Amino acid sequence: MAVNLRSLFSISRPHNRYRDNERLSLDDCGIEMLQMQLESDRGRIIQSAAVRRLQQKTQVYPLEKNSAVRSRLTHSMEVMQTGRHIVQTIYRRLGAQAKSFGLEGLERPIESLVEMACLLHDVGNPPFGHFGEAAISQWFQTHLPQLPAFAQTKLNTEGDTDQQQLQQRLISDLSHFEGNAQAIRLSHSLLRLNLTYAQSACILKYTRLAAESRPPAGDAFSYLKKKPGFYLSEQSHIQDLQQVLGIEQGCRYPLSYIMEAADDISYCLADIEDGVEKGLMSYQTLAQLLIENYAQHEGGADVVQFPPEQPKRSFREIVDYACERAARETINKAHEFFIWLRVGLIHHLVEHAAQGFIDHIEQVAQGRLNRALLEDDTPCHQVITTFKNIAFEHFFSHPEVETLDLQGHHILTALLNHYRPLLMLDTAAFTQLSQGQYRGFLVESLLFKRLPNKHIRAYQEAMAAIPVDQAHYSLWEQYYRCRLLQDMVSGMTDQYALDEYRTLSALD
């Protein structure tokens, strides 16, 4: 097919002065107007509270007091830089060919879209990282069948197939909390950033609805749908986005591949660098582990293959050179080691990601490339795998880190237990509470008053859109009430979650 990525750029937003969901393409608005609208997106994102909270959310090591160890915010800034580098490399490699793909004149808009997607990619992550995601998912999987609307439906609707199917979908949706899906919810439904559809599409990393099952291996979308990408609460927004941008169901927006590659390149080395900064391992020991792990795979550590320019070097030579430079450094040896490890490897990974985008541009343009740009059988993928293996085997499994993970899991589980009484009210009772009628609700009223007003308003707005006499009203009310609690807990910083846990648990 003739690839024309130009057709995927639009300045349309969910709510603006133009007709809702009107597809305003580059032919309608021009590059200058597109750039102006993306600059508006940039301001909305950078100035959002969710981005500010990233400075107190963990990247890997919870409740870390050493400010040299990365937070979600510093990690996201590094991902931004890498994403920008990949875009520039794509244009440098394409040269005059950029015009044949409809990309001429779009380098600045694409840089902006990718950079802001990189900044937003982690805003949906809860406190305590992936253990936080697991804690929220496990708690709801356990408690949802006991909640009034779901339990009542289970008992009384044996003949109502539609009601039973809806119940199952709502429970499945709430049981699979995912930071990527929460980022979509946060930017659209909670922060109300009203981003252009193009900018929102960039952060839609996975294309599966949380209520749906993961497709089997070998499915055309097995990778693109390996994790939930959005919730039922944002399904209509995603459908509008797909319609405006002309994206087929299950497919990605092309620029999200670049955001994903930038994240993969950035975090795989950063995680082990932070471990060395924390004193979990010396850089000399790390260097030896890197060589040993890489040598286990086809080609080995001594095969000359890096970087793309001359002279080419092997993985061992790059690591050894980083050690040599560190040995000569008199002030900060570990820092010097990682500088030269980056110089030797990261540039090549960026080049490889850019070339992967170009080599598979037809599938990328369609959003059908069913893998990450760096997920192939090349030495570059092996570098990424080596870094990840070392991180999991020697840093994430370190007793100190495992203890912190367990503490984080316990804190979030305990917080959800404290707020459980709000979920155990029936629909009529919680409606009274949400309207400020506190009489008769001793504990529940005190808990309700601790909920953030913005999350309460999001709940109320969602319920206002559902007719009270609708047959499934109580199911949807229970669903959005659970979302209200997930929104609150997942939006906490690590320290605030700890403080709230201590407060409600009456701990000093």
Count Cβ atoms below 10 Å from residue 236 Cβ, excluding itself. Answer: 11
In the CATH hierarchy, which fold is given to the domain comprising 263-397? putative deoxyguanosinetriphosphate triphosphohydrolase fold (1.10.3410)
Every domain of the chain with CATH number 1.10.3210.10 lies at 5-126+218-256
pLDDT of residue 309: 66
Q: Tell me: cis bond preceding 311? Omega within 30 of 0 counts.
A: yes
pLDDT of residue 153: 58
Q: pLDDT tens digits, residue range 469-478?
A: 888 999 999 9
Torsion sign over Cα 429, 433, 438, 442:
positive
DSSP state letters, 452-469: -HHHHHHHHHHHHTS-TT
How far is the C-alpha of 170 from the C-alpha of 478, rounded, in Å? 9
Asked whether the predicted pLDDT for residue 259 surpasses 70, the reply is: yes
For 118, left (φ over 0), alpha (ψ -120 to 50), or beta?
A: alpha
Check if the beta carbon of residue 177 is closer than 8 Å to that of residue 126.
Answer: yes
What average pLDDT does range 208-219 have in this prediction?
96
Check if the beta carbon of residue 397 is closer than 8 Å to that of residue 359.
Answer: no
Tokens found for residue 210: 């949380």
Virtual CA dihedral for 319, 324, 326, 330, nearest 10 degrees?
180
Check if the beta carbon of residue 231 is closer than 8 Å to that of residue 149.
Answer: no
How far is the C-alpha of 454 from the C-alpha of 451, rounded, in Å? 9
Strand partners, 306: 313
Check if the beta carbon of residue 10 is closer than 8 Å to that of residue 195.
Answer: no
How far is the C-alpha of 302 from the C-alpha of 320, rounded, in Å? 11
pLDDT band, very low/low/confident/very high, at 159 (cuts 50, 70, 90) = low
The CATH code that applies to domain 5-126+218-256 is 1.10.3210.10
For 300, left (φ over 0), alpha (ψ -120 to 50), or beta?
A: left
Asked whether the predicted pLDDT for residue 258 surpasses 70, the reply is: yes
pLDDT of residue 508: 44
Per-residue DSSP letter, 396: I
Every domain of the chain with CATH number 1.10.3410.10 lies at 263-397
How far is the C-alpha of 339 from the C-alpha of 323, rounded, in Å? 10
Q: pLDDT tens digits, residue range 371-407?
A: 999 999 999 999 999 999 999 999 999 999 999 999 9
What average pLDDT does range 330-359 have in this prediction?
95
Cα dist from 255 to 116, 122, 184, 365, whole Å: 11, 16, 16, 9
Could you give the percent of the chain with pLDDT greater than 70? 95
pLDDT of residue 397: 92
**pLDDT: which is higher, 29 or 158:** 29
Counted residue by residue, the chain has a size of: 508
